[in-house]
């Protein structure tokens, strides 16, 4: 009887907490001052510097691949430093760690120069941080908005409010962009945080961004404006209940300056000084690939969809039209990969036409979201039977050469790059994972670029990533059709008959939890 009573008390407490969360509401009809991208980018310092090359490539945009985490950080810092008029940032995650604080410091210093800064973050990055964000937004040149926020604003109440309003809160803004003066920007898989820029001790992400200049950036800015001015983007002032503290911004500025000074002596800062991109930028020798390009993105209204969203809100149909169906070759990098029955059918169609398909994703041990792996694992045999070539990134680069480990900033790696290459003619780089969450729930963003040169560059990085030092190659055992993982150690071929480097408890807990996580939510 005591156990039953305790259970009843716990359930009652949970119901009360959920009811408290459901009572919290978002402010209605809060005034949103509309704003738009700077409309004369050609008049800025960036615009004038790029004008000669742009004139030689009318209608085209310039691109530079950012495969190295340190280079990706340098690119963002350089854009913040170069901006004269505007900085627009849109991110799913924005950590307050070494690199996150340095980027935030660069935004504040830009605002101090008179640059208008618009920071749009998903509520995932905002929960429990309203006071800090409100202090930042107290700067007259900085605005902060939060996409699709929960009504509960503390970390605890956020959880219960999200549970009470799950269908809405389950939609997240996964877009990632950093744009200066509507003239140059970065798009790709990286959020803001140490693990994305090779600065973390332990595991860092193997990721990919594109630095872009020209007309494609103006299209990028239009997508930002659409999100910024939408009903789903709430000014932080509408969410923060406290009164503005005039001293908070000044105190924050002092803390950021102290952080900047202390960061100069870190190992990461020392490695940054040797960054290839930094040296190229200082020498004004950054190579750009000029090519036609198109931005593809989900509309902000996708966040309000019930069930599968309408096609006119989705990135998918735009991407299919822009990238076209492969004729001979398809390379895919997707850290979270769940093809589903529709995806398997699409791959079957392509294989019947003779298209070679190679896919790299995370191994079980390397995946930071184990449940997603359970959604992917059940399709591996079907894909291999079709002749799809599967590779899984190893969780450690300890066996790789030192120069290769330096690419990731540590001896650990987890795939985070979202890219594909079609017929060595067209590439997609962006935030989209090939899983149900990206396709049907979250909003996503990316570039489709028509360029043999860029496709070859990205394909070389793909080939590097699937080397035996980095990745397992999956095969089916001829005798019984079971999965095997092929690798090399000390120059010798090694075979594994189950997911490598995964212990019993991780296997069991993931298997057990998979019964409670529908594939549509992964």
176 catalytically annotated: yes
Q: Please state, in angstroms and rounded to a whole number, the distance separating the CA atoms of residues 277 and 185.
A: 15
Q: If you write DSSP's letter for every residue of 415-450 in order, what string do you get?
A: E---EEEETTTEEEEES--SSHIIIIISB-EEEEEE
Four-CA torsion 39, 42, 47, 48, nearest 10 degrees: -150
Q: Are 163 and 21 in contact (CB under 8 A)?
A: yes
Q: Are 426 and 420 in contact (CB under 8 A)?
A: no
Which one of 329, 382, 423, 456 is the catalytic residue?
Answer: 423
Which one of 105, 165, 181, 209 is the catalytic residue?
Answer: 181
Report the SS3 class of residue 273. Answer: coil
Instruction: Spell 181-194 as b/e; 16+ CB within 10 A means b.
Output: bbbbbbbbbbbbbb
Closest-CA residue to 208 (of 308, 375, 68) = 68
Indicate the angle between helix axes 504-513 and 370-377, nearest 10 degrees: 70
Which one of 394, 418, 435, 440 is the catalytic residue?
Answer: 418
Residue 433's region, left for phi above 0, alpha for psi from -120 to 50, else beta, is beta
Q: Please state, in angstroms and rounded to a whole number, the distance separating the CA atoms of residues 419 and 205.
A: 14
Beta strand 177-180 with 289-291 is unpaired
Which one of 95, 101, 127, 174 is the catalytic residue?
Answer: 174
Beta strand 289-291 with 233-235 is unpaired
Which one of 130, 416, 435, 440 is the catalytic residue?
Answer: 416
Provide CB contacts within 8 A for 110, sequence distance 6+. Answer: 80, 81, 83, 87, 117
* SS3 assignment for 311-339: HHHCHHHHHHHHHCCCCCEEEEECCCCCC
Q: Are 129 and 120 in contact (CB under 8 A)?
A: no
418 catalytically annotated: yes
373 catalytically annotated: no
Q: Please state, in angstroms and rounded to a whole number, the distance separating the CA atoms of residues 212 and 79.
A: 11
Q: How far are the Cα atoms of 147, 191, 405 from residue 118, in angstroms, in the given order?
A: 13, 16, 35
349 catalytically annotated: no
Strands (E) in 14-103, as ranges, are: 61-66, 86-91
368 catalytically annotated: no
Q: Please state, in angstroms and rounded to a whole number, the distance separating the CA atoms of residues 184 and 351.
A: 39
Q: Please state, in angstroms and rounded to a whole number, the distance separating the CA atoms of residues 439 and 520.
A: 10
Round to the nearest angstrom and report the end-to-end CA distance of the chain.
39
Four-CA torsion 152, 155, 161, 165, nearest 10 degrees: 110
Length of the chain: 522
Q: Phi and psi of 247, rounded to 5°?
A: -85, -15
> Which positions are catalytic?
174, 176, 181, 416, 418, 423
């Amino acid at each position: 009887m005591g156990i039953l009573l305790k259970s009843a008390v716990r359930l009652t407490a949970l119901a009360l907490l959920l009811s408290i969360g459901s009572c919290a509401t978002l402010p209605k009809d809060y005034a949103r001052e509309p704003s738009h991208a700077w409309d004369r980018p050609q008049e800025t310092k960036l615009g004038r510097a790029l004008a000669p090359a742009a004139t030689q490539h009318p209608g085209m945009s310039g691109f530079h691949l950012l495969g190295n985490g340190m280079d990706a950080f340098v690119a963002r810092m350089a854009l913040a430093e170069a901006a004269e008029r505007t900085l627009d940032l849109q991110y799913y995650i924005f950590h307050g760690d070494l690199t996150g604080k340095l980027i935030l410091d660069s935004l504040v210093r830009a605002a101090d120069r008179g640059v208008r800064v618009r920071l749009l973050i998903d509520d995932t990055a905002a929960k429990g941080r309203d006071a800090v964000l409100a202090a930042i937004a107290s700067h007259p040149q900085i605005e902060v908005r939060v996409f699709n926020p929960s009504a509960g604003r503390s970390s605890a109440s956020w959880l219960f409010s999200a549970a009470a309003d799950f269908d809405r809160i389950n939609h997240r803004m996964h877009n990632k962009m950093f744009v200066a003066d509507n003239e140059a920007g970065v798009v790709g898989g990286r959020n803001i945080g140490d693990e994305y820029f090779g600065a973390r001790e332990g595991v860092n992400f193997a990721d990919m961004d594109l630095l872009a200049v020209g007309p494609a950036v103006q299209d990028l800015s239009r997508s930002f404006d659409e999100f910024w001015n939408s009903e789903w983007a709430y000014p932080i002032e509408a969410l923060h209940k406290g009164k503005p503290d005039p001293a908070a911004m000044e105190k924050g500025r002092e803390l950021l300056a102290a952080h900047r000074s202390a960061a100069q002596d870190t190992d990461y800062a020392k490695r940054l000084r040797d960054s290839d991109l930094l040296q190229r930028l200082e020498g004004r020798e950054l190579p750009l690939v000029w090519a036609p390009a198109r931005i593809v993105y989900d509309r902000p209204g996708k966040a309000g969809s019930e069930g599968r969203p309408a096609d006119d809100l989705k990135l998918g149909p735009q991407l299919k039209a822009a990238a076209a169906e492969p004729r001979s070759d398809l390379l895919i990098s997707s850290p979270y990969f769940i093809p589903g029955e529709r995806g398997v059918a699409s791959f079957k169609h392509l294989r019947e036409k003779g298209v070679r398909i190679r896919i790299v994703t995370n191994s079980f041990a390397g995946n930071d979201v184990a449940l997603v792996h359970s959604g992917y694992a059940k399709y591996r045999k079907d894909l291999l039977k079709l002749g799809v070539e599967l590779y899984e990134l190893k969780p450690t680069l300890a066996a790789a050469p030192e120069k290769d480990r330096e690419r990731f900033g540590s001896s650990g790696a987890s795939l985070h790059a979202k890219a594909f290459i079609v017929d060595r003619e067209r590439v997609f780089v962006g935030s989209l994972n090939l899983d149900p969450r990206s396709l049907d729930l979250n909003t996503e963003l990316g570039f489709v670029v028509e360029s043999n040169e860029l496709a070859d560059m990205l394909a070389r990085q793909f080939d590097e990533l699937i080397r035996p030092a980095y990745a397992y190659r999956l095969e089916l055992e001829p005798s019984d059709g079971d999965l095997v993982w092929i690798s090399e150690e000390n120059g010798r071929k090694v075979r594994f008959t189950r997911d490598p480097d995964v212990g019993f408890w991780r296997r069991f807990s993931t298997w057990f939890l998979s019964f409670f996580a529908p594939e549509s939510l992964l």
